[in-house]
Structure 1
Amino acid sequence: MDRPLDVVGIGNAIVDVLVQTTDNFLETHNLIKGSMTLVDEVEAQKLYQESGPGIETSGGSAANTIAGIAILGGKSSFIGRVRDDQLGKIFLHDIRSVGANFETPFSRKGPGTARCLILVTPDAQRTMCTHLGVSVQLEPEDLDLSIIKDSKVVYLEGYLWDNDAAKRAFIAAAKTSQESGGHVALSLSDSFCVHRHRESFLELVNNHIDILFANEDEITSLFKSSNIESAIKELKKCCNIAIVTRGEAGSIVLEGENLYEISAFKIGKLIDTTGAGDLYAGGFLYAYTQGKPLQECGEIGSICAGRIVTQLGSRSQTSLKELLRRYNKIK
């Protein structure tokens, strides 16, 4: 497809605050290591003040993917809601700074910009405390349909499926993309989210999704499967392309009866798994929109994920382009 944009992402617009901390801090604040806890604005502010200095970047699953595509040289855009506050301005500046387009107007009322405090302990485990704020108030009216029509792929984030208005926005975006000849991709985002909305997710996947991203827990939850093999049999009956990430075991890319096994790329010491799945999707979709074969799309996604887990945060501190050149994936 010859279009001005490669991928437009729709999701929660969250400012990630990454802080290296200790087990003692988690225990003091009654936080379960490795968990993701939703907190209200008061608790979010308290944790933010007591956690110490950190790295603040535009975040949220789809936003991380869109930023990754831009960093690799793809043409990407993001749609999501932020408030006209300090964190909203941080989000706007940061995502634009990597080359992604972001034109959703500031919200002038309602809760503040969403934030996710990501507490990383020395064993590389991440414990997240998230205040979703205004991000979940995305409405169909917030969509710039011209951007969706101009994109080869619209990428949807499953986390937003908890909100009815956002569901309507998703369907509107998917239909607009399909009617204009584009492709629709979805990340299932979280196994608990899948469990809450299994039937409606299945309806979405069967009727609107061309490319599905999931990890092993999410895909087995979606199909109520006891193992990955039985989930794969179900996957073959629905969307055109499906990608299942499996951590150290690599990933699987499915297209009809074709199955591609992709090895994990171990590029350095494991530091922080924040954004690994998001950057895999970014690398995959970048390669896909450049017309590369699916095996290579998976390998590029795996390389990007392998790099991001060797550092703190979801923005690579070294050039992803140079890394792909080292592996002879781009010129």
Structure 2
Amino acid sequence: MGSSGVNFSALRIKKGPTTQCVCLVDALGNRTMRSCLSSVVKIQWLVMRYGIYNLEVIHAVIQMAKEEGVFVSLDLASFEMVRNIRGPLLKLLDDENASLEVALEFLAKHCQWAVVALGYNRCLAKCGREMVRVPAIREAKTTDAIGAGDLFAGGFLYGLVKGLSLEECC
């Protein structure tokens, strides 16, 4: 690669296991990547979002993650997903009119961290016996809220990984 003009001056080598990736390029310049995460690299988190419409697949993936000791983040923010599995979700919650606190309590029985984000209003979160209610910082005039939930989820998970308190994660 150096003979082709690739500059390696900023390359840093660290000791330890890494993944491997092969980039396949055809004659037209189209490319695809094939990664091998091998058994020496162990993930700590599995983030499941939006493309999870099949309850059997969700159960199987979560079971595998549990067997491997991997934390799972399951985002139910997609209204299409919730609509498609509304019946089973309502059975899980036992009551169509369950309050947010009841829903949070139920979720917390099945996971280490349970979070219910209420858009621009507030956030409820529970971990073990600790429950927090975090109000919005301030009311803001928004022109577009696309991605706000994604940013919240990313920020919350970042806080967990960094060891922040439940309230700080919210």
Q: TM-score, normalised by structure 1?
A: 0.35
Structure with the higher helix share, 1 or 2 = 1
The 5 Å alignment of 1:21-170 reads 146=38, 150-157=42-49, 159-163=50-54, 168=57, 170=58
Code of the aligned partner of 2:42 = D
Shift of 1:202: 8.0
**1:286 — aligned with what?**
158
Give the total of aligned pairs.
140
Q: Which has the larger radius of gyration?
A: 2
The 5 Å alignment of 1:114-263 reads 146=38, 150-157=42-49, 159-163=50-54, 168=57, 170-171=58-59, 173-198=61-86, 224-263=96-135
**1:137 — aligned with what?**
none
Shift of 1:239: 1.8
Task: Kindly provide the CA deviation profile for residues 28-55 of structure 1, in whole angstroms up to 9, marking residues without a partner as x.
Answer: xxxxxxxxxxxxxxxxxxxxxxxxxxxx
**2:24 — aligned with what?**
none
Q: Say whether the 8 Å CA contact 1:242–1:255 is kept in structure 2.
A: yes
Shift of 1:194: 2.1
| SS of alignment partner, residue 162 of structure 1 | coil
CA distance in 2, matches of 1:160, 1:271: 27
The Cα RMSD (Å) is 3.7
Unaligned 5+ segments in structure 1 are 1-88, 93-102, 106-142, 207-219, 299-331
Q: TM-score, normalised by structure 2?
A: 0.63
Shift of 1:163: 4.9
Task: Kindly provide the CA deviation profile for residues 159-195 of structure 1, in whole angstroms up to 9, marking residues without a partner as x.
Answer: 323358xx53x45543443223221110012344224
CA distance in 1, matches of 2:65, 2:100: 30
